[in-house]
Chains A and B, each alone.
Chain A
Amino acid sequence: MGSTPETGFLIIADLTGYTAYLAQSELEHAPTIAGDLLETVVGRLDPPFRLAKFEGDAAFLSVEDGRADGSLLLDAVEASYLAFRRRLRSIDQATSCACNSCALAPRLDLKLFVHHGSYVRTTIAGRDELAGSDVIVVHRLLKGSTAETSRANGFALFTAAAIEALGLDAGALGLVEATEAIDHLGTVTTFTLDLEARWAVERQARRLDVGEGDRVVNLDAIVPADPADAWAHLTSPELRTLWEGPLEIVESSPGGRRGVGTQAQCVTGRLATIEEIVDWQPYDHVGWRIAVPALGPVGATADLEPVAGGTHVTVRWAYLGIGEPDPLAMQLVRAEREAAFARLTRLLAGALPVVEATEALA
């Protein structure tokens, strides 16, 4: 009996330099460290991606169309690389072990290959497998010329099909175009994102600090959701309306990807709030500058920290204007933010029926 074809994204996260690392390290330790790193990477990709299987020093994941928007999928890719580098840094800083496995671990890097296409789910020798020519394409990219020339650096390689499905503007995002010839399957156009550069920015990043004194709102809660889910609900216009109310959020993003510089106009009734994202560290921290009618400029941040049982979410709003803010406007914003945050925590806890939230948009 045949399987029903699906369409979606296929992604391989592959440790760079693993063979050399294994050859020079103690067999007792090296696979454990590599496994730890791969778990870190998969932990950031899944969800929205789903792990299909581990393939030696690589993890193969997929996500069917419609589960998340392009920006959120790109957030997952970027977050996985940053989590990988943070984990490497902590191994490097924390260990006092002199064995080669620990000493050489910081030489490992990560490359990710993202393709969009069709595949089927099938069972081979009792194991679930994804199959199809697009599955072959993403695996062949592992051994392609881009992977070879970029060997020393972390990167994410997207096929043209993936870029199109993600709705990204490769030129605006500074992606490097190349082609790969794949036997029997033809030529594939690829676009490479320099994740090493993204990590350099991350290390120097200064976060928007809304301070303590003039805060309008300071809210926090532990929600029973993973950081990816909480992040999506805090940043995706579609999901924000489920807890913030019937807003019409019109986004303008450089390159089609949500991030620093993305501006949004949030309209409810005749009231329009202008937002600009000023910090963007997926699954970890996001900052906005917001022009709130009747109140003035506001700095807002959301910080996420994985904890036992979910994610600790901290949201802060602070008035940034000159002089004293309007007391009634402050009071109303505080009340509105508190109520919305309570809805968010109920939504992520599964205690707010999505149908109720969705119908409010009608």
Chain B
Amino acid sequence: MTKYEAQAEIARSADEVWSYAADILRHTEWMSVADAHLLDGDGTQVGARGRERLLLGPFKWDVEFEVVEAEFGRRLLWRSRDARFDMEVGLELEPSGPASVRARYHGAARMHGRWRLLSALVAMEGSASVKRELAQLKARVEGAPAAVPAAS
């Protein structure tokens, strides 16, 4: 299994970052994917499923995935399994201030059968992708208007 990760400080609350990242229909805004669809659920709960076109280097692969971990404000983990590969992508959030969060974005992939011929390429592209996608996630949520805290 090839693993890669990136970390960043994001100047938004963990809840805001989590809510944005969990929205499968908005994955196209910051992930290297196109044509995101919901198949089951809304993306915020374990068991929700979606389908996306994964853009990995020169490849465009249609993949179905499932939310396998979803803890509001703390973590998300998406998993995809098919005949070509097992792939996981996760986001972990650790509040570092009232309106800032330390984000760890990570991925892992294992190719199957003849698709292992692409292992080195997938590792190379995957490593670049997590850095690029986390930077885009940070830019997107920091570029959005900050949420107004609810009056107590």
Give chain A's interface residues, CB within 8 Å of chain B: 244-247, 268-271, 292-295, 326, 328-329, 332-333, 335-336, 338-340, 342-343, 356-357, 359-360, 362
Contacts and interface: CB of A to CB of B under 8 A. Distances in A.
Interface stretch (B14-22, B107-115, B135-143): B107-115
A338 B58 contact: yes
Contact of B114 (A328, A339, A342, A360): A328
Instruction: Identify the 6 closest CB pairs spanning chains A and B, nearest first.
Output: A245-B120, A360-B127, A269-B119, A268-B120, A245-B124, A332-B117
Interface of B is mostly: helix
A332 B2 contact: no
A336 B117 contact: yes
B131 interface: yes
A270 B1 CA distance: 9
Contacts of B114: 294, 326, 328-329, 332
12 contacts: A244-B120, A244-B124, A268-B119, A268-B120, A269-B2, A292-B117, A335-B58, A335-B121, A342-B58, A356-B128, A360-B127, A362-B127
Contacts of A295: 117
A257 B115 CA distance: 34
A326 B117 CA distance: 13
B118 A336 contact: yes
Contacts of A270: 116
Nearest to A273: B117
A357 to B, nearest CB: 7
Contacts, number: 75
A246 B116 contact: no
A229 B63 CA distance: 40
A339 B57 contact: yes
Given A335-B58, A339-B58, A269 B116 contact: yes
Interface string B4-33: 100000000000000000000000000000
A356 B116 contact: no
Contact of B127 (A247, A329, A359): A359
Contacts of B126: 360
A338 B59 CA distance: 11
Given A244-B120, A268-B116, 14 more contacts: A244-B124, A246-B2, A247-B120, A271-B116, A293-B116, A294-B114, A332-B114, A339-B121, A340-B121, A356-B131, A359-B4, A359-B127, A360-B126, A362-B4
Contacts of A362: 4, 127
